[in-house]
Amino acid sequence: MMITRRSLVSTVPAGMLAAGIAPRARAATAVDVALVLMSDVSYSVIDSEFGIERHGYATAIQSPEVVGAITGGDIGAIGVTYMEFSGEYQIATVRGWEVIHDQASAKAFADAIMSQPRSSFGRTAIGSGIDAAVGALAECGFTATRRVIDVCGDGTCIGGMPLDHARAEALKAGITINGLAIIHENPPPWLIFHVDPPGGIVNWYRDHIVGGPDSFVMQVKSGDDFVSAMTRKLVGEIARRSVPSSRARDLL
């Protein structure tokens, strides 16, 4: 039997622990989508790239396009949490589950994730990250029509739970996994095979990470592109719209 590592995830921000603040209990709440934002903070993600990622998430989640997609749903609300992963035992919940239903709640979530420090540096245990996200969805306390894991990163899986197993367990549970692959245009020699595997990182994400109903993979190369790509990605996930592209289900 495969032993999961979900119980090893830090699910409360360090600031809350230090202040002695207990996580809020939540009765079951109906939302259109329960969404885990899962961001790579491994050693290949340099500080400037990390800043672009965080800012991109915070800007996109409170954009008019995303808020419009949220409020335009059948229920008009989503449940969302923001997590980061690097090594097998370096998976953290930066912001726990919140309901976003309007501009104010979207801004509050964005401000909360921007206020937290980077959680770790380490290897790239994507399988362990997905496993933790599956656990978070199982315990979120929401009733949702759809459950989605949104994986953003710049490299292949290194260490931790076997990725194929974690992905298969998520898909078996009816969870959709989407990917946003960050492209390194001039990687240092020691990172080439990690960030630019044979066929490219986008194809690697397509083959090894994404799956489930309406799943898709996207790529991004710059800071401005990241905000735009994350906005379109969130709109596609929340509104369940088809994603226009030159290749089916890919947004380039």
What tens digit of pLDDT does each residue of 210-247 get? 999 999 999 988 667 889 999 999 999 998 754 544 33
pLDDT higher for 15 or 241?
241
Which whole number is the average pLDDT over 45-57?
80
Q: Is residue 231 part of a domain?
A: yes
Evaluate if residue 20 carries a pLDDT over 90.
no
pTM: predicted TM-score of the whole model, two decimal places:
0.83
Q: Is residue 3 part of a domain?
A: no
Q: Is residue 14 part of a domain?
A: no
Sign of CA dihedral 183, 177, 212, 76: negative
CATH of the domain at 110: 3.40.50.410
Q: Is residue 141 part of a domain?
A: yes
Dihedral of the CA atoms 152, 155, 158, 161 (nearest 10)? Answer: 30
Q: Are 128 and 166 in contact (CB under 8 A)?
A: yes
Q: Residue 68 has which token pair?
A: 């419009």
pLDDT at position 23, please?
A: 42
**DSSP assignment of 46-86:** -HHHHHHHHHHHHHHHTSHHHHHHHHTSSSS-EEEEEEEE-
The pLDDT-based confidence of 27 (bands split at 50, 70, 90) is low
Which residue type, as a one-letter code, is found at position 136? A
Number of structural domains found in the chain = 1
The pLDDT-based confidence of 172 (bands split at 50, 70, 90) is very high
Full domain range(s) for residue 114: 28-147+158-178+192-251
- Exposure class string for 185-210: b at 16+ Cβ within 10 A, else e: eebeeeeeebbbbeeebbebbbebbb
Please give the helix or strand (H or E) that residue 233 lies within, else none. Answer: helix 223-239
pLDDT at position 53, please?
A: 84
Q: Is residue 184 part of a domain?
A: no
pLDDT higher for 106 or 88?
106
Q: Is residue 21 part of a domain?
A: no
Q: Is residue 217 part of a domain?
A: yes
Q: Where are the beta strands (DSSP E) in 114-211?
A: 142-153, 176-182
Q: Is residue 5 part of a domain?
A: no
Which whole number is the average pLDDT over 119-129?
82
**DSSP assignment of 72-140:** TSSSS-EEEEEEEE-STT-EEEEEEEEEE-SHHHHHHHHHHHHTSPP-------HHHHHHHHHHHHHTS
pLDDT at position 241, please?
A: 59
